[in-house]
Structure 1
Amino acid sequence: MTAEDTRSYDVVVIGAGPVGENVADRTTAAGLSTVIVESELVGGECSYWACEPSKALLRPALLRAEVARVPGVQAGGAPLDVDAVLAHRDRMAAHWDDDGQVEWLRTAGVDLQRGHGRLDGPRRVAVSTPGGGTVHLLARHAVAVCTGSTAALPALPGLAGLRPWTSREATSATKPPGRLVVVGAGVVAAEMATAWQALGSQVVLLARGNRLLPQLEPFAGELVAERLREAGADLRFGVTVSSAVRMGGGVGVLLSDGGRLTADEILFATGRAPRTGDLGLETVGLAPGDWLTTDDTFTVTAVQGDWLYAAGDVNRRALLTHQGKYQARIAGAVIAARASGTPLDTAPWGTHAGTADLAAVPQVVFTDPEIASVGLTTAEARRTGRHVDVVDYDLGHVAGALQHDPGYRGRARALIDPDRRTVVGCHFAGPGVAELLHSATVAIAGEIPLERLWHAVPPFPTISEVWLRLLETYRDQRAAL
C-alpha cells in the first residue's frame, strides 16, 4: 500500500443512488468529509432503470385510459405514439448519462470515486477502479452501504442462454415486443404489463398465486386485473414456468400445467435480492449475499462499534426509493450526531429513529387504476393479532371521482384503532388516487385523532371528499353496534 492510493475521510458511502446521495448530502452538510463510491451510473437504479423510466412509460398509458372514459373526448381511444413515449422515457432517464448527477455531487461538496467498492475490514473500503487499480478508503467515523437490490431470478436450467428481461430491460427496451410473457404478480409485473400492453405488446401474465398484488388489499389486485383484461392482456393464475428456452428470435415457455407459450421476450418480475454478494461482508464477519439487518438508526446490528450503516433496499425494511431516502436522512443525522458526541434521540418518531418504516410506509402502484396504500393492511392486522375496525367506501359515489369518469370504479378502505381512535392504515384504488396518499400518510404518522379529522374539510368536488365519507361511514357503523 502506498500513500497515493490511500485516502482518509470521515464518511465513506458505497452506492450513489438516491439513498447514498442523501446520506452523503446530510453528512457533508454536517461538516464531515464524505466520499461516495459508484461502479455504475451516479443516480442509481431509480434514475435509470426503475422509478423514472417506468413512470415515463406508464403516464401516457394511464392518461390515455382515463381520457378514453371521459364523455366528449374523441381522441381517448387513439393508439399511443410509441416513438414519442420512448423518447420521453429516454429524457426522463437522462439518456443514461449521469453528468447532471455528478455535477450535483460536486456542488454539494461530496467526492466521487468511480469503481467497485468492497469492505476491507472495519472502517476500510477497497475500490477496484475502471483503470484496473485499487484505491483504499479509510473512514474515521462511518461506512454506509447503500447498494440497493437487484432482480431475483428463478432457478431455471439454461437461464443465461435464455437472456430474460428483468426490470432493467423492461424499462429500457427500445421497442415493444410483439408478445411479452410477464412472470410475477407484484408491482413490477403489474406495472410493466400495464405499460407494454398499452404500447402494443400482447401481454401474457403468469402468476403463481391466485391474484395480483398479493401484498395489498385484495380489491386492489382485482381492479387492476379487470382493467388489464379489458385492455387485452391474458392473465393466468396458479401457474409457474417449468422451463424456458431462447430459440431463434423468440422464447419457448413450458408451463407447470403442461401448457406452452411462445413469445418475443420473457420478463421475470419475481422479487428482489440484495446487492451484497461482492461487497466484502466476510471481512467484517457477515455473510456475502445477505440482507443487512439494522436497528432503527440504520446501524448494522451484527457489527460492533457503531460504524457500519445500511440504508435503502439493502436492509429490506421497505424496498421503496422514498423510504430509502427517508432512512438516508436519518442515518446521516445519526452519523453526524455520533461524530460530534451528541446524544441520539431514538424515541418513536424521534430525530434518529426510522419509525415510519414500521407504521407509515406509503406506496403507489401506477397501474390502471392507480393503487395507493399506507400503513397496516387487514391481512397484517389479522396476522399480528391487532384489533382494528375496517371501513370501506365505494369511490364511485364521490362527486369528484365522477368528474374523472361517470362510470368510475374504485374503492377506499381505512383501518382504525378503536381504542386510540386513530387511522392506522389507508388503501385506495381508482384513477387519480395517488394524490390522496400523502394526506393519509400525514394522518397516520401524526396519529391524528378522528375527532380532529372531522375538522379537516375536504374541498368539493374532489376525490379527497372520500375522507369525509369514510368518517361518516365509520360513525354510522359504530352507531349501529
Structure 2
Amino acid sequence: MSESTAASPTTASEDVFDVIVIGAGPVGENVADRARAAGLTVALIESELVGGECSYWACMPSKALLRPVAALAEARAVAGSREAVTGKLDAAAVFARRDEFTSHWKDDGQAGWVDSIGAVLVRGHGRLAGPRRVEVDTPDGGVRRLAARHAVAVCTGSDALIPDLPGVAQAKPWTSRQATSGRDVERLVIVGGGVVGVEMATAWRALGAEVTLLIREAAPLPRMEPFVGEMIASSLSEAGVKVRTGVTVTGLDRPTQGGPVSVLLADGQKIEGDEVLLAVGRTPRTKHLGLETVGLETGSWLKVDDSCRVQGVDGDWLFAVGDVNHRALLTHQGKYQARIAGTVIGALARGEALDMQRWSPHVATADIDAVPQVVFTEPEVGSVGKTADEARRAGLNVRVVDYDLGQVAGASLFADGYRGRARMVVDLDRNVLLGVTFIGSGVAELVHSATVAVAGEVPIDRLWHAVPSYPTISEVWLRLLETLRG
C-alpha cells in the first residue's frame, strides 16, 4: 500500500475495522455486504432504522399504498371482472398491509441480517473526525471512536427539501415520510409535480381524500417525455384530483396547531387542506457529518469519480455512495453504485490496481446514461435513458419513434379501451437506443428489457432478433422497430 493511502496510526481508545460504513440503508447494506464478501471487517453505523428510507418511508410503503390502486383499476378495466367489483378500497386493510411491509417500523429483521453477514452494527449518529476516523454519538449519550484501515463509505442519503417559505415552520408540513406512513387525512394539498407528488396524489385520492395537486410547471413529471405529463394530469383529473399547473406557492398559514393549513399562491388565492405535503426535491444528508474535518463543505452533495471515490480528498479511502453523491437519486441506482464501491474497496485493500475501463466492475456507468425509473401512478410510467429533448440538446443525431400501446394485441387483452404510448429515441449514427419511455397499465415490467437494450447498446439490427411473446404488451418492441424501419 502506498504512503498516500496507508492508514494513520490508531489509538488504544479506537475500535478498528477495515471498512466503516455510515448509513445502513439499502446502499450502506450493499457496501457492507460486498466488503464482507471480500473478507474485510466492517462497522455499519445507523442513527435511525436499519434498512433506511426505502424500507420504512419511501419505496416499500409507497408501493404498498399504490399496488391496491393499480389492482382495483385493472380489475375494473376488464369486462367480467369489472362486474365483480362492487366496492371501493378498504383503507384500513391497505394501511395494515403497508404496515406489514414496513415491519411496523421496527428493524429487528434487518439488524439480524447485518449480524448474519458478520458486520458490526453501531447505533448512533456517525460523523467524520478526520482521515479514516469516525465518531459515533451513541443512544446512551456516549461517544464511540472508530478507525478504518482501508475505507470509509458515506451512505447517508438525502432528506426532503423544505423550502424557506413564510409560515413553513408553524405549518409543520408533511414530507414524503408522513405521506407514506400517515393514515388519516381528509383534505390533502400537495405541492410539487414530481414522482412523490403524483404517486401520493394517486394513493391518497384512491383512499378517499380530497386531493389538490399544485405544480409550478406546465405539467407533472417535467423531466420525462412531454406526453407522459399530459396523460398523468388527465388521469389524475379523471380520478378526482384537482390538478393546478403553472402556480407558485408563496407561503403557508396554520394559525391553530392541529387545525387546517392554508397554502398561499402568488395570485393571492388560498387553498385550504387538513395537511400539506411539500414534494419539491431532495437535499443531501451531510449537514452534521464532519465533512469539514477532511476539507469538504458541510451540507454539500459529495462529488465522486466513477468508482464512487470522493474527489478533493487525498488518498483512496473516502467513498460516497447513493443519493449523497447526487448522480442518480434512486434506490436501485444507489445499490448499483454500492456494488461498484464495495468491489473497489476490496480491490484496493488487496493492493490491486483498478481497471477504469468502461465495462469494468470498478466503474459505474449505468447511473448516468441508462437510469431506469418507474412511476407507480395509474397508468404506470416507465423510462430509461435520455428523453428526445435531452438527446437533441446533447447534439446527437436522433430519430424519435412513437407507438400507440392501445394498438398492441397484448395491451388490448390487458384492459378494455387500453390507453398508453411508447417511445424510443434512436441514435442514428451508432444505430442504438438512447432512451425508451412507456406509459400505460402494467408497463413497469417492460422497463428492464429497455434497460438491457440501452445499457448494453444493443444494435437495432440485433434487436429484431429479440422476439416478443404473443400476445403480450412486450410486442410493442416489434411495433416500434417496424415503425422505425417504415
Q: TM-score, normalised by structure 1?
A: 0.97
Q: Which structure 2 residues correspond to residues 462-481 of structure 1 after superposition, within 5 A?
A: 462-476=472-486
> In 2, Cα distance between the equivalents of 1:5 and 1:163?
42
* Aligned-partner residue type, residue 289 of structure 1: G
* Aligned-partner residue type, residue 75 of structure 2: V
Q: Which residue of structure 2 lines up, in the alignment, with residue 309 of structure 1?
A: 319
The DSSP-based 3-state class of the residue aligned with 1:294 is coil
Calculate percent identity across the aligned residue pairs.
Answer: 62
Q: Which structure 2 residues correspond to residues 62-461 of structure 1 after superposition, within 5 A?
A: 62-72=70-80, 73-76=82-85, 78-175=87-184, 177-248=185-256, 249-461=259-471
Deviates more, 1:11-20 or 1:215-224: 215-224
* Aligned-partner residue type, residue 369 of structure 2: A
> In 2, Cα distance between the equivalents of 1:345 and 1:398?
44
Asked whether the equivalents of residues 39 and 114 of structure 1 are also in contact (C-alpha less than 8 Å), the reply is yes
Q: Which residue of structure 1 lines up, in the alignment, with residue 44 of structure 2?
A: 36
> In 1, Cα distance between the equivalents of 2:352 and 2:214?
53
CA shift in 2, pair 1:226/1:351, >3 Å: same
Residue by residue over 1:106-126, the C-alpha shift from the partner in whole angstroms, topping out at 9 and shown as x without a partner, is 011110000000000000000
What are structure 2's unaligned runs of at least 5 residues?
Answer: 1-9
Deviation at 1:247, TM superposition (A): 3.4
> In 2, Cα distance between the equivalents of 1:373 and 1:439?
11
CA shift in 2, pair 1:125/1:64, >3 Å: same
The DSSP-based 3-state class of the residue aligned with 2:469 is coil
* Aligned-partner residue type, residue 45 of structure 2: V
Asked whether the equivalents of residues 13 and 146 of structure 1 are also in contact (C-alpha less than 8 Å), the reply is yes
Deviation at 1:257, TM superposition (A): 1.4
Deviates more, 1:14-23 or 1:233-242: 233-242
User: Matched residue pairs, number?
Assistant: 474
Q: TM-score, normalised by structure 2?
A: 0.96
* Aligned-partner residue type, residue 304 of structure 2: T
Residue by residue over 1:120-145, the C-alpha shift from the partner in whole angstroms, topping out at 9 and shown as x without a partner, is 00000000000000001100100000
> In 2, Cα distance between the equivalents of 1:44 and 1:355?
25
CA shift in 2, pair 1:4/1:78, >3 Å: farther
> In 2, Cα distance between the equivalents of 1:63 and 1:198?
12
The DSSP-based 3-state class of the residue aligned with 2:342 is helix
Deviation at 1:179, TM superposition (A): 0.7
> In 1, Cα distance between the equivalents of 2:17 and 2:135?
13
* Aligned-partner residue type, residue 229 of structure 1: S
Residue by residue over 1:259-282, the C-alpha shift from the partner in whole angstroms, topping out at 9 and shown as x without a partner, is 111110000000000000000000
Asked whether the equivalents of residues 68 and 77 of structure 1 are also in contact (C-alpha less than 8 Å), the reply is no
The DSSP-based 3-state class of the residue aligned with 1:296 is coil
Large movers: runs of 4+ above 2 Å: 2-5, 75-78
* Aligned-partner residue type, residue 108 of structure 2: D
What do you get for the CA RMSD once the two structures are aligned? 1.2
> In 2, Cα distance between the equivalents of 1:445 and 1:232?
38
Asked whether the equivalents of residues 9 and 34 of structure 1 are also in contact (C-alpha less than 8 Å), the reply is yes
Residue by residue over 1:186-237, the C-alpha shift from the partner in whole angstroms, topping out at 9 and shown as x without a partner, is 0000000000000000100001111100011111111111111001000001
Deviation at 1:452, TM superposition (A): 1.2
Residue by residue over 1:307-344, the C-alpha shift from the partner in whole angstroms, topping out at 9 and shown as x without a partner, is 10000000000000000000000000000101101121
What are structure 1's unaligned runs of at least 5 residues?
Answer: 477-481
> In 2, Cα distance between the equivalents of 1:75 and 1:256?
47
